[in-house]
Chains A and B, each alone.
Chain A
Amino acid sequence: MNEALHTIAYKTSQGFVTGHFTAMAGPCEVIIETSDQELAEKVTQTVADEAWRIESTFSRYRTDNIIYRINNADGDPVEVDAETARLLDFADLCFEVSDGMFDITSGVLGKIWKFDGSSNVPYQNDIDKLLPKIGWQKVSWTNPRLQMPAGMALDFGGIGKEYAVDSAAQLARQITELPILINFGGDIVATAPPVSREHWLIGIEPLALGQNTVPPQVALKHGGVATSGDSKRYLLHNNKVLSHVLNPKTGWPVADAPASVTVLASNCTQAGMLSTLAMLQGKEAETFLQSQEVEHWIQRR
């Protein structure tokens, strides 16, 4: 990690202080309703530090963290710290409730699937070679010990950013009760509604500008909002659009997945998991979210 990139830019307007920084490969912002610049900077610094801490702790691109130790243990057991254990417990629960569709060992598929808008679909042969390296059920996890067959790899990409938002919000709440909105590249938490207005207003990125005359908006008082899906990440195959959501059992994109799913829940991790699980439902996404009785917005191409 390049420490020099750890900078925060501040902007003040209409009773809100906004801090911008970059973490987890994307733009992040912290908005605080206050005129106390010093307090706002303290909160933003805490949030940013937490984002950078979680990023470096669980990044797949570092050689000095727990993910590296797990992914390079070559089948040996690895003892993990309490935070990693909580994430593994959570991933384990998600694997269980999704009947294996949400799987933190499926990241290896990213090596062959490049969702760049082209029609470069990988060869079935290459997919077949990777499938034996996927499957959380092959991992032995008994807190605090994890043992994974050699060649497999863990990736917290599916939950890390949402977790970071919640964890940062938790720290921010300990500093102040002032209303704060934390946004890590579309994964959002609001600690309280702004005093000056009824709620925070969050825009969901439309599929294509101009296509939807009014982009969908989410009114958030407190809780978390997360969006799964990305309108720019897809492949074309046999005249059909392939979403970037992969089925860990087949190694292929989930059929008829929505372009994006946004969910509002009590925290960001919960919202993120519900939206991910909805994506994995393919054409059943709407039915699934209706049954969960959560506020949600689904966009399809």
Chain B
Amino acid sequence: MKKNLLLKSALATATLTLITGTAQAEEGQEQTTPASKEQAIGDWKFDAAFLFYSESDSRVSAIEPVFNANKRLDEEEYLNLKLTVDSLTGASPSGAVASDQPLTFTRPSGNASYTVNANQYPLDDTFKDTRVALATSWTFPVSDMTKAGLGANISKEYDYLSASINGNISYDFNNRNSTLFAGLSYAFDSIDPVGGAPIAFGRMQPVGDPQNKLSGSQDKDTLDLLVGITQVIDRESLFQFNYSYSMSDGYHNDPYKVLSVLDDQGNYFDDGIPVANVLFENRPDERTKHGLFGRYKRYIDGDILDVSYRYMTDDWEIDSHTVDLKYRFAFDNGDYLQPHVRYYTQTQADFYQPYLRQDQPLPQFASSDYRLAEYDAITLGLEYGWKSSGGNQWRMALELYNQTPTEPEKYGVLQQQTLLPDWNAVMLRVNYSF
């Protein structure tokens, strides 16, 4: 007999597996809900979440209730329905640079204007929307070792419609210690911007002048592919690896983002039109992304260590790295505390430009969207989970996010301005399963 301490901990893990039936800690998908109760066939299980999100400097804030219902149809067959409602308010960077003069911009509707004070970072405060999204999925066994899933999503905002269908299949082998999976998804997006989609590089017009705006909606098709493997290493740990491919075709512009046109001193170039000289952005109409993802999960005497790394690269030349670390401390009474750290860094898109210059030729593509710039971001979070006296699971998470962009090159009077300020966000999520 192996007379060592490993035997006791091997038994501890094995007995936990035996009693709770949750073998390899919730493997697979991001943020799967830990089953708080054994769900009998025919039973519904519900999950309600409430998310509050707020960015610094009165940028976007959002309130998002989520309701999830899951029905166990058979031994390994589930139906899932998820309803999300997003309510966004606040202001978003318009893409224009600040100036030592006040700047007047026409609202996207074309019916009104707003003014940004001198030396202030231009935010478009018309950002207000409600999104309703419904997702449904059905997972079912195909054979002993093969499981499949089919799903559909639809999401509607005032100016945006997104619909997608997806399918996936997984195959267990090697005594169920290995799982191969593959997924395919097709999405159709249609945007019908307030006041019409602007013509690429169109000059912002004064109130009441609808020229430079297109009528009708703009569409985009996206195809996503995912293949991966999950490998149980031993009774306490598992490794997951996957490759993802995404190809999209169609309208990729943000119809509300503009680029400032500056003269050789760094001032807005005065062309006589009584609104700031800005052009609507223009992005390529295709994008191909590749991603590699690896995750290691380890069970340590009831605690769970979860480390992952993601690398993404695309033909817009944005390369990103994400390192994510979570550690879940389990308490004797079943509660847990989970600190979370994430670091993200990306390079800028090859057509990212903070502004355009009147004395230089117009490039083929350009966008000053801060999301396409070079930046680093850190997320710090803490989640606490506990069970109510009725046995239902509560989870509460607080996350702090900080984004630090690399300030682009400046010249002339522009040197007095910050083109890409740091910003922070705070997120609070409360989740209840019953």
Contact = CB atoms under 8 A, between A and B. Distances in A.
Mutual binders A and B: yes
Interface string B1-15: 111110110111011
B37 interface: yes
B363 to A, nearest CB: 59
Interface residues of A, number: 42
B332 interface: yes
Contacts of B389: 175-177
Given A90-B15, A143-B176, A167-B19, A294 B332 contact: no
A270 B1 contact: no
A89 B1 contact: no
Contacts of B334: 173
Interface of B: 1-5, 7-8, 10-12, 14-21, 23, 36-37, 75, 144, 175-176, 235, 332-334, 387, 389-391
Contact of B3 (A166, A173, A192, A291): A291
13 contacts: A89-B17, A93-B11, A93-B14, A144-B144, A166-B19, A170-B19, A173-B391, A176-B389, A270-B11, A273-B11, A277-B1, A291-B5, A294-B8
Contacts of A175: 389-391
Interface string A145-178: 0000000000000000001001100100111110
| Closest A-B pairs by Cβ, 6 of them | A174-B391, A269-B15, A270-B15, A90-B18, A166-B19, A270-B11
Nearest to A224: B15
A222 B5 CA distance: 21
Contacts of A265: 8, 11-12
Interface of A: 82-83, 86-87, 89-90, 93-94, 97-99, 101, 142-144, 163, 166-167, 170, 173-177, 192, 222, 265-267, 269-270, 273-274, 277, 280-281, 287-288, 291-294
B18 A269 contact: yes
Q: Per DSSP, are chain A's interface residues mostly helix, strand or loop, or mixed? A: helix
A247 to B, nearest CB: 12
A173 B20 CA distance: 12
A174 B37 contact: yes
A142 B173 CA distance: 11
Nearest to A102: B1
B21 A273 contact: no
Contacts of A98: 1
A166 B235 CA distance: 20
A59 B362 CA distance: 82
B391 A281 contact: no
Contacts of A288: 1, 3
A142 B175 contact: yes
Contacts of B12: 265-267, 270
Given A173-B391, A175-B391, A293-B5, A274 B176 contact: no
A192 B389 CA distance: 13
A98 B1 CA distance: 5
Nearest to B17: A86
A223 to B, nearest CB: 8
Contacts of B11: 93-94, 97, 265, 269-270, 273-274
Contacts of B19: 163, 166-167, 170, 267, 269
Nearest to A263: B8
B1 A97 contact: yes
A82 B176 CA distance: 13
B85 to A, nearest CB: 30
Please indicate which of the listed interface residues B7, B8, B15 has the most CB atoms of chain A within 10 Å of its own CB: B15
B386 to A, nearest CB: 10
Nearest to A86: B18
A104 to B, nearest CB: 13
Contacts of B7: 97, 277, 292
B8 A293 contact: yes
A172 B19 CA distance: 13
A97 B84 CA distance: 49
Please indicate which of the listed interface residues A142, A175, A176, A270 has the most CB atoms of chain B within 10 Å of its own CB: A270
B17 A222 contact: no
B2 A97 contact: yes
Nearest to B332: A222
Contacts of B391: 173-175
Contact of B21 (A86, A143, A293): A86
Given A99-B1, A192-B333, A83 B21 contact: yes
B14 A90 contact: yes
B10 A97 contact: yes
Contacts of B390: 174-175
Given A86-B17, A167-B19, A292 B1 contact: no
